[in-house]
Amino acid sequence: MQRPPLSTLCATLALLAAWGCSSKSEDTSTPNDVPVICEAPGYAVDTDAIQIDRVRAKLRVPSGDPASGLPVQVCGIDACVPSNADRSGTLNVPLNQKMILPALKYGDGFDYAELAAPLTEDNLDLGELIALPLPPLSAGAKFSKSGAVTSGEVNLQLASNGSVEHDRLSYSDDSELVFRSVAVPVADSPQALPPRFGFELAYGLAPLGTTFCPAANLSLKNTLDWPSGTEVEVFVQGLDVTEKWAPYGSWLQVAEAVVSSDGKRIETTSGGVPILSSIAVRRK
Amino acid sequence: MTRAARSTRQFASVGVLGLSLLACGNNTPKIPPELLASGGCHSPDYPNGPFGTEEGDTLADACFQGFRNPEQVSHNQSTLETIAFADYYDPTGSKGYQLILINTAAVWCSACRSEHEGLPAKNREYGARGLRILSTLFQDARREPATLRDLSTWVETFSSDYATVLDPDYQLGGFASAETAPLNLVVDAHTMKIEKKLLGDQATVLWPFIDASLAQE
């Protein structure tokens, strides 16, 4: 969804919001341990519904095998229709209805990372999509009230006086409330990670919808060997149609980061991750 | 299949559609029997058929297990009640009911969640004018039939102050293509005729319609 003026506004708002309730990586507490209050900025805008007749895609897992039975949703901010890929990974969802800001959300945040590919009247056949299995729950990292939580190449630092709120409706079992991440093949995922953003690294995270107050500091392994001091921008994708933390189906900058002096990590310097979703980064 | 057949019988006028929907559905059959209230739903005073699923049709009665006043009770098996559409039928106006808003929701449906964030306020606004809201939760986050735990978390998350029930065998599936959610039906409490049927959270259509309809009463 091309909405440059809105994107700019959203990015500014998000950074300001994140700035207001976050702090630098090396100091995750606030003076005098005063409880931090974080309010979702909200990004809902009035948009007209568009006609969605039929959505098609071919879904496979990174090994190349079909993503048989992969759960998907065709969701606008006003209505959702669930479906599944068939045994060959083919998705063919007849809808014949109007939706506001429709997107195909593939993956479910349980067994697979969830990503959103925006739909337009001219773009209802999405071609090949890569579904990304999340690590098993047994490999997930438990959240503590503060400190680090790590899965794979992604590390989150939670403030000592902050709070973590999970989406208990979706994740009703405590065993599901563990941090998991999977790398997204950026070049092979242009539907969800539009090339115009210039993303170079991306990850699918779970449990979806978990919010952090203040926003969590992020540290990523510098897998692309960017030079020390390289400035980086961090984005989250809006997967929630309430658009409280990010515009639905789009990407919102939430933090700035830099490659550490030893060149091993990419660490946020301002802002942070307010909600677990899919994240992506690009060099400034 | 017997449960499916029971549901389909209730929408006999659209039997072919109902059967096709059941064939496409992905509900598992592992629904606790105590949550299935569709059997034995009978109210002698309910309007006679034919029944249908479109605007102008008479709504067939259906029964569910749920909380009639979720904000007034603890949320467990012992406080579940059988709630029927017939409970809201008010031919003479003696109950003070004018319109019934019947709504479907599922945990996986983020549009449903968004809608429910605003429903308590609408219930307070329009309840005094004769609107009754009955929301049915049919699936969980993994698209399995909704359970008591889902229902309890749902009403607590949204501070629901209107009747909210389980529909694990998706009795209202006959009203919507596939499992599109949410679905909103505005029903005349005096006749049980469907006045408005809306797929999706169409707040800008739904609430002016309800407002205007109540103004005419």
User: Please, which pLDDT band fits residue B136 given cuts at 50, 70 and 90?
Assistant: very high
User: What pLDDT score was predicted for residue A23?
Assistant: 35
Flag if B200 and A169 touch (Cβ within 8 Å). Answer: no
| Cβ-defined contact of A82 to B182 (cutoff 8 Å) | no
Between residues A1 and B196, the one the model is more confident about: B196
Listed in sequence order, the DSSP H helices in chain A are: 4-20
Alpha carbon distances (Å) from B15 to A101, A156, B6, B51, B177: 33, 53, 11, 11, 14
CB of B205 less than 8 A from some CB of A:
no
**Residue B199: its chain A contacts at CB < 8 A?**
79, 97
Provide, rounded to the nearest whole percent, the portion of chain B with pLDDT above 90. Answer: 73
Q: Do A71 and B143 make contact, defined as CB atoms within 8 angstroms? A: yes
Domain boundaries, chain B: 2-216
Would you state the torsion angle of the CA atoms of residues A61, A85, A252, B116, taken in this order, to the nearest 10 degrees?
Answer: -140
Provide ipTM, 2 decimals: 0.83
**What is the average per-residue pLDDT within A253-268?**
98
Which pLDDT score, from 0 to 100, does residue B2 have?
40
Write the CB contacts of A137 (distance below 8 Å, at least 6 apart in sequence).
A175, A176, A178, A180
Residue from the list B107, B153, B181 with its beta carbon closest to the beta carbon of A79: B181
pLDDT digits (tens, 9 = 90+) for A175-233: 999 999 999 999 999 999 999 999 999 999 999 999 999 999 999 999 999 999 999 99
CATH class of B2-216: alpha beta
The pLDDT value given to residue A242: 85
pLDDT for A233: 98
Q: What percent of chain A has pLDDT above 70?
A: 87
Could you count the other beta carbons within 10 Å of the beta carbon of residue B20? 12
Q: Tokens 């007209």 map to which residue?
A: A48
Q: Residue B34: its pLDDT value, please?
A: 54
Give the predicted TM-score (pTM) of the model.
Answer: 0.83
DSSP state of A29: S
Neighbours of A79 (CB within 10 A): 30
Q: At B210, is the secondary structure helix, strand, or coil?
A: helix
Contacts of A80 (CB under 8 A, 6+ apart): A73, A74, A241, B106, B108, B109, B110, B111, B112, B180, B181
Cβ of A82 within 8 Å of Cβ of B108? The answer is: yes
CATH class of domain segment(s) A49-130 = mainly beta
Residues of B with Cβ-Cβ distance to A84 under 8 angstroms: 26
Average pLDDT over residues B109-132: 95
Token output for B199: 């797929």
pLDDT band, very low/low/confident/very high, at B127 (cuts 50, 70, 90)? very high
Residues B90-118: what's their mean pLDDT?
Answer: 95
Q: Dihedral sign for Cα B114, B120, B125, B130, please.
A: positive
Report pLDDT digits (tens) over A88-108.
999 999 998 999 999 999 999
Is the Cβ–Cβ distance between A113 and A134 less than 8 Å? yes
In this structure, chain B runs to a length of: 217
Domain ranges of chain A: 4-40+135-283, 49-130
Closest Cβ opposite residue A79 in set B113, B149, B199 = B199
**Contact A171/B141, CB-based, under 8 Å?**
yes
Confidence (pLDDT) at A36: 66
Q: What's the CA gap between B179 and B181, in Å, rounded?
A: 6
Nearest to B154 by CA among B75, B79, B100: B75
Inform me whether the pLDDT recorded for B99 exceeds 80: yes
Q: Å from A257 to nearest chain B CA?
A: 31
At residue A84, the pLDDT reads 96
Integer angstrom CA distances of residue B68 from A190, B81, B140:
47, 7, 20
The pLDDT assigned to B178 comes to 62
- Fill in the amino acid letter for B87: D
